[in-house]
């Protein structure tokens, strides 16, 4: 019984890491929606929900990256190309 619980927890952690990885380094929820279109039915509904959540996370990471660049001074000035 303990082995089954351990395997389920490992699968859940792996799925969570993959979800976050695809969301941040991928194109948000587009990959999940694509999977939903190919499968259909109940999986499509779940893929749409995952896609929406992935879009929210992707949006938050983009704004966070912009804020960090601004705070650290690594943001390129917009007027640097003009002389």
pLDDT, tens only, 32-64: 777 777 777 778 788 888 888 888 888 888 888
**Rounded Cα gap, residues 39 and 63, in angstroms:** 32
Whole-model pTM: value is 0.57
Burial of residue 14 (CB within 10 Å: 0-12, 13-18, 19+) is: exposed
Return the structure tokens found at 43: 């999986």
**Rounded Cα gap, residues 69 and 18, in angstroms:** 26
**Rounded Cα gap, residues 35 and 14, in angstroms:** 18
The residue with tokens 């082995």 is: 3
| pLDDT of 78 strictly over 70 | no
């Amino acid at each position: 019984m303990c082995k089954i619980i351990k395997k389920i927890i490992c699968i859940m952690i792996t799925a969570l890491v993959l979800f976050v990885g695809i969301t941040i380094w991928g194109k948000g929820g587009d990959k999940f929606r694509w999977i939903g279109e190919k499968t259909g039915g109940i999986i499509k509904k779940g893929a749409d929900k995952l896609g929406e959540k992935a879009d929210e996370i992707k949006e938050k990471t983009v704004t966070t990256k912009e804020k960090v660049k601004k705070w650290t001074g690594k943001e390129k000035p917009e007027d640097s190309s003009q002389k």
